[in-house]
Amino acid sequence: MNTHETMPICNIDTEKKRSYKWLLALIMVTVIALGWKFPLLGFVVPVAMGSGILGAFFRGRWMCGNACPRGSFLDTWFKPLAANRRLPRWLKSPLFRWSVLVALMGFMGYRLSLQPTDPLHWGRVFWQMCLVTTLAALGLGLVYRARAWCAICPVGTMAAAIDRGQYQLQIDPSCRGCAACANSCPMQLPIASYRSKGVLAEADCIKCSTCRSACPRPGVLTWPQRLA
């Protein structure tokens, strides 16, 4: 029997994604481990940030769920150690999220302005910001769940604000509302509750397809074909 004929396509895609996520995670680990000695590695940070923000104009938070080095680290290397608890409402509130964004981006901008023409200084600042926010992500993950940081990540907050309903998860009317998708969602989104609308109208969806893999009925959850 040909296994490729019997295995759901979404499961095959998930296996491929898991493989390259381990490699993306290695990039983050390398930056944190060696950035203190090789400051120019810190420039990986603004590249990742810029990619997440620019990508939001086309696919919302797709970069967060598929190409973010830190997100990939949280999904792979760190996930076995993480808790599995509900995120508190205050952590996801717009006020708290934007306060975190203003505080972190303002502090980073101030630090960069101290030596505006020194690329090594800039690299060190980017590395330090990556280290501090990663430690925060690990702390939140140990208390709540692996992707808890993604609820307040400044880049994710900006990407969600930019999102205007692009590339939304489509929900077939045959959805039974079993909530297997919501239970697996790293962002704890109530996916099945949107089945009457036919799409997941949540800007914080990171397009990771975890819900598709968890759904017991292949084809109920799909992505728009024009951008697939």
Together in a domain, 141 and 82: yes
How many CA atoms lie within 13 Å of 198's alpha carbon, on the beta-carbon side? 1
Task: Give residues with Cβ within 8 angstroms of 69, minimum separation 6.
Answer: 24, 25, 27, 28, 31, 44, 48
Together in a domain, 103 and 187: no
Together in a domain, 65 and 129: yes
Total domain count, the chain: 2
Together in a domain, 65 and 148: yes
Gap between the Cα atoms of 35 and 139, Å rounded: 21
Domain-embedded: residue 119: yes
Among candidate residues 223, 82, 214, 212, the one with its CA nearest the CA of residue 150: 82
Alpha helices in the chain (DSSP H): 3-6, 9-34, 44-59, 62-66, 69-75, 89-92, 94-114, 119-143, 154-162, 180-184, 210-214
Write the CATH number for 187. 3.30.70
**pLDDT tens profile 50-106:** 999 999 999 999 999 999 999 999 999 999 999 999 999 999 999 999 999 999 999
Together in a domain, 128 and 35: yes
Query: What pLDDT, on the 0 to 100 scale, is given for residue 90?
Result: 95
Query: Position 65: which residue type?
Result: G
**Token code pair at residue 211:** 């819900």
**pLDDT tens profile 182-217:** 999 999 999 999 999 999 999 999 999 999 999 999
Task: Give residues with Cβ within 8 angstroms of 15, minimum separation 6.
Answer: none
Gap between the Cα atoms of 108 and 91, Å rounded: 22
Supply the range of the domain harboring residue 122.
9-162
Together in a domain, 124 and 44: yes
> Does residue 3 have a pLDDT over 90?
no
> What number is the average pLDDT over the span 19-31?
93
Query: What pLDDT, on the 0 to 100 scale, is given for residue 13?
Result: 54
> What number is the average pLDDT over the span 13-39?
87
